[in-house]
Structure 1
Amino acid sequence: MIAIIVEFQNFFIFILLCLFSLLCHSLFFKKPKDSRSFVLPSSPPSLPIIGHLHLLLSVLTHKSLQKLSSKYGPLLLIRIFYVPIILVSSSSMAYEIFKAHDVNVSSRGIIALDESLMFGASGILNAPYGDYWKFMKKLMATKLLRPQVLERSRGVRVEELHRFYRSILDKATKNESVEIGKEAMKLMNNTLCKLIMGRSFSEDNGESNRVRGLVDETYALSEKIFLAAILRRPLAKLRISLFKKEIMGVSNKFDELLERILQERKENLEEKNNEGMDMMDVLLEAYGDENAEYKITWKHIKAFFVEFFIGGTDTSVQTTQWAMAEMINNANVLERLREEIVSVVGETRLIQETDLPNLPYLQAVVKEVLRLHPPSPVLIRKFQEKCEVKGFYIPEKTTLIVNVYAIMRDSDSWEDPEKFKPERFLTSSRSGEEDEKELKFLPFGSGRRGCPGANLGSIFVGTAIGVMVQCFDWKIKEDKVNMEETFEGMTLKMVHPLTCTPFFEPNLYLLLLISKFPCLILSFGAC
């Protein structure tokens, strides 16, 4: 949070904000009538005007919140300027809220910048729990992300996975180092592009670099977008719009790109059949359906793709990078995983998506990485109506922050919570599904607002990790990977991106032949 404040070029805005917060404090924090019957959650000591901001002056906000909870309790009332926030940091409190008050907290409550395609009023991410959100949720469940649809698009992901393998193989044969995040980014970008619009962005004309650049710009702006959304209502009264020029600059670039692609696709939609339709075709069909339950607009489609692309890229990339870093630091885990893959897949073909259900240790590795390094360490919701949680009164329109990071490192729920131990998710030890039901494990959120792309993301990460472990050994210059983390762009990232050198495994020589001579793929059984 402090990083954003420091970036304010005009300190006068900050002064105005403080003055406005002081004026509004009495209005927002008046005790309800008959307050003797209401018991608010406990609150740490605060300062006038800024509230608890001084306790949160850290880039690693999730860790600052974790420290607060460990000292004052798992359910806290804190305040940043005039904004009241309920902070939840235990699985039992999260369970109580998501199971008993799921509908009440099914809106994020962030007032978005209407015109922006990134997390704006037309997007699904910040859409209130209403007709539009329900329509898009149903469309994703039935036509965009359901298992049968993902199965039909498996060939797209196979092709990009082979491309990913060949890229690393080329560097291995040249003894060149690999920046895992960059290679994973290419894989995720191209795969998502093909799923969305049936083709990958071209590297030759710079289109791919432009798209990756827009995604990077969006993540760099996401904290500003969030802050602008949180403070939009009070600042609007002062006719101040934070970061609007920067946000709309990136949004307009996305708009120009998608407008051209959508217009081209709309002209060719009639020639498509249901089997050959990608996500863009499905949404264009819904757009043209006069009898649809909800009439979506051109802007809804653009905003959906921008948010889907952004949400599905960096999260998978960071999880893949964290996984490889943990395994390089824990060689026994990497060797055990390689042995499992070889025993199930063999040495004559690359790992496939259909192998994932038969690779429990790989699944355990992915879950343990998500536990230790959740892509989004905090979840943000809003109580639409007043309610009671564990006997405490929660006023309406109160922001809810669930510290996922703290919950998944809670010593009351996890043995050796700071250690990387995939074995904890094996069925013989403890059921991962049980942890999810108890909300001890919630990297994808929970309730109606849980991530709809969790299954697809697990496929991306599982196959990418599988290929890198199956086919290569990895060396780093240092003894250990530096695991220092930073919370930027609303995503948990490595301060020092993982760079290591791949070495081709001699016992997988057939895979080398397959990559050089694709005609051998059928002979050796690769997909």
Structure 2
Amino acid sequence: MASTPSTAHPNLSECAFLFFIWIVSNLVVRFLINICINSRAKTRNPPSPRALPIIGHLHLLRFKLPESFQNLARRYGPLMQIRIGTSTTFVIASSATVAKEILKTYDIDFASRFEFGPTEYNIYSGDGFVTCPNNTYWLFMKKLCMTKLLAGPQLDRFNHIREQEIQNLLKSLFKSSREGEACDLAMELTTLTNNLLCRMALSKRCSENAEGAKEVRKLIVEIMQLGAKLGVNEALGPLKKFDLFGNGKKLVEAMWRYDQLFEQIIREYEDEIVDGQGKDDADLMSIVLEIYKDTNAEVKLTRNQIKFFFMEIFMASIDTLTAAIQWAMAELINHPQPFKRLREEINTVVGANRLVKESDVPNLPYLQAVVKETLRLHSPVPLIHRECTKDCTINGFHVKAKSKVLINIYAIMRDPEQWKDPDEFLPERFLINSNDKLGRHRMEIKGRDFHYLPFGGGRRGCIGGTHALLVTHVTLGALTQCFDWKVKGGEKIDINVGSGFSGAMPLPLVCYPIARFDPF
């Protein structure tokens, strides 16, 4: 009779091997857990509010983003993380101390910028100057701007353009005054800044051709508006991949129209160069094309880089400069005493027989104080953006490479620990003989004092600040010298910060100019 086979059992050596594997696995797991715990203990990420699925922290933000970030910073500290949508995370800096670390101590590591929103609709993606990384092209273009395009001698060459365009603005306002009509000061100032920039950049195209300036302006405004609509998609998580409302397609079409316009402009300039014309009145395009043709230049520019460079100049200058002058006029109209003091200063220094000039500005300290205080309260760019290129420790927290950083200069320049009555319009705080308790009157305007950053700071600070101040001082002085102002529909202007990332006024500045001094 056959025997029944017995059940197999593991031998002693197999049991010992399995036991050894179990011991080693436990040790490895414990080792990895300890590494993670120690790493977390050493790596302190910036604090962050509790996020919701899909939308992140979008529910905590309001239309006035700088103010929303300021309110959150009071609870979570001067360096925090905010997630918008499923994948876009920003590190928000909200104090002068943190700004100094970013813009001075670690300036080289934060010298790059990132692009907002989807980039697939930008036909010049990768060719930018304002948003490009800290690379050879950016260094070359910054040097070109600082030594040729926006250097003192070149700005001096444009002095007559500024005088003419400010006079054109005043003549338009005098016409409204004679007819007793209200004017949209925002539109008048936009025309001023648009014509100024067109003539500086493209004088051959715009000096005698108002339609050319309007065409450029129209395309730039259309592109900016479509870009702003697309920017909302950044907050919609997965939906940002889809062009739901067709704005992406419209943006591409508008940019191609701009491309065709500027290709035509470049060819006209090149034809003039061949004919030997236009060498005595070099505008910005002439200078850039000279570099473009130079075979010995450090960087060989492309036509796309030139086209996008001018687009960026228009985008960065027209609306921001207009907003700065608007805010100054709104504050002066709402505050009769500073308005009266400014006019008295101009009358004393300039007299009653001529219009204020750029050469008068150094002798008008209260005018300078009004402009500084306006830029403190209403910086045209209240959030400046940077990208971290390597891991850093900021304010004791770990900031990873590739982090998108926003510096909330709106909050910094309204910090109650640094400014007395931070939300009040007090130009006196910037006068040399003022009581320092009113504020930090000795502050420089170009980012060397990190409590006051109207033009940003560090190596990516605004390169057009000098030109902006020239125009703002003289225009504001002329509007104060020549007119009294009455607000349409009320005694004061409703001052509210605009929505989103912008520092623009949310409502049109409509008022009656009442002629007081006519220099013509």
Q: Which category of TM-score, normalised to the shorter sequence, fits these structures?
A: 0.7 to 0.9
Q: Is structure 2 residue 495 aligned with structure 1 residue 483?
A: yes
Q: Give the conservation status (yes or no) of the 8 Å contact 2:447–2:456.
A: no
C-alpha distance 428-385 of structure 1, shift in aligned 2 (>3 A): same
- Tell me how far apart the structure 2 counterparts of residues 254 and 277 of structure 1 sit (CA, whole Å): 23
SS at match of 1:374: coil
1:130 to 125, 135, 146: 135
Percent identity, aligned pairs only, is 37
Partner residue, 2:465: 454
Q: Give the conservation status (yes or no) of the 8 Å contact 1:381–1:400.
A: yes
Q: Is structure 2 residue 477 aligned with structure 1 residue 466?
A: yes
Q: Deviations over 1:363-407 (max 9, x none)?
A: 111111111111111111111110111221111111111111111
Q: Is structure 2 residue 113 aligned with structure 1 residue 94?
A: no
Q: Is structure 2 residue 43 aligned with structure 1 residue 38?
A: yes
2:226 maps to a residue whose letter is L
1:260 maps to a residue whose letter is Q
- Tell me how far apart the structure 2 counterparts of residues 389 and 175 of structure 1 sit (CA, whole Å): 57
Q: Is structure 2 residue 125 aligned with structure 1 residue 113?
A: no
C-alpha distance 231-137 of structure 1, shift in aligned 2 (>3 A): farther
Q: Is structure 2 residue 61 aligned with structure 1 residue 61?
A: no
C-alpha distance 301-231 of structure 1, shift in aligned 2 (>3 A): farther
1:310 maps to a residue whose letter is M
Following superposition, the deviation at residue 149 of structure 1 comes to 0.9
1:350 to 347, 350, 355: 355
Larger Rg: 2
Q: Give the conservation status (yes or no) of the 8 Å contact 1:283–1:301.
A: yes
Q: Deviations over 1:405-453 (max 9, x none)?
A: 1111110111100100111111222212289433111121111111100
Q: Is structure 2 residue 486 aligned with structure 1 residue 499?
A: no
**Which deviates more, 213-222 or 423-432?**
213-222
Partner residue, 2:259: 255
SS at match of 2:251: helix
Q: Give the conservation status (yes or no) of the 8 Å contact 2:373–2:430.
A: yes
- Tell me how far apart the structure 1 counterparts of residues 303 and 193 of structure 2 sit (CA, whole Å): 25
2:485 maps to a residue whose letter is W
Q: Is structure 2 residue 443 aligned with structure 1 residue 432?
A: yes
Partner residue, 1:191: 196
Following superposition, the deviation at residue 247 of structure 1 comes to 1.8
Q: Give the conservation status (yes or no) of the 8 Å contact 1:337–1:362.
A: yes
C-alpha distance 328-493 of structure 1, shift in aligned 2 (>3 A): same
- Tell me how far apart the structure 2 counterparts of residues 434 and 161 of structure 1 sit (CA, whole Å): 24
Q: Is structure 2 residue 269 aligned with structure 1 residue 265?
A: yes
**Structure 1 segment 226-265 matched on structure 2, within 5 A:** 226=231, 243-265=247-269
Partner residue, 2:422: 417
1:61 maps to a residue whose letter is L
Aligned residues between the structures: 476
Q: Give the conservation status (yes or no) of the 8 Å contact 2:78–2:95.
A: yes
Q: Deviations over 1:84-128 (max 9, x none)?
A: 32111111111111111111111113387367367x421211111
- Tell me how far apart the structure 2 counterparts of residues 206 and 275 of structure 1 sit (CA, whole Å): 24
1:116 maps to a residue whose letter is N
Q: Give the conservation status (yes or no) of the 8 Å contact 2:499–2:506.
A: no
**Structure 1 segment 67-466 matched on structure 2, within 5 A:** 67-80=71-84, 81-110=86-115, 113=119, 116=122, 120-199=125-204, 201=206, 206-224=211-229, 226=231, 243-270=247-274, 271-272=276-277, 275-429=280-434, 430-433=441-444, 436-466=447-477
SS at match of 1:416: coil
Q: Deviations over 1:27-77 (max 9, x none)?
A: xxxx89933321112222222333222212x22111111110112211112
Following superposition, the deviation at residue 213 of structure 1 comes to 2.4
- Tell me how far apart the structure 1 counterparts of residues 234 and 204 of structure 2 sit (CA, whole Å): 34
2:262 maps to a residue whose letter is L
C-alpha distance 494-241 of structure 1, shift in aligned 2 (>3 A): closer
Q: Deviations over 1:223-263 (max 9, x none)?
A: 34546689999977x99998431221221221122111111
- Tell me how far apart the structure 2 counterparts of residues 335 and 113 of structure 1 sit (CA, whole Å): 48
Aligned Cα RMSD in Å?
2.7
1:472 maps to a residue whose letter is F
Structure 1 residues without counterparts, runs of 5 or longer: 1-30, 516-527
Q: Give the conservation status (yes or no) of the 8 Å contact 1:114–1:122.
A: no
C-alpha distance 353-64 of structure 1, shift in aligned 2 (>3 A): same
- Tell me how far apart the structure 1 counterparts of residues 479 and 68 of structure 2 sit (CA, whole Å): 35
Q: Give the conservation status (yes or no) of the 8 Å contact 1:114–1:121.
A: no
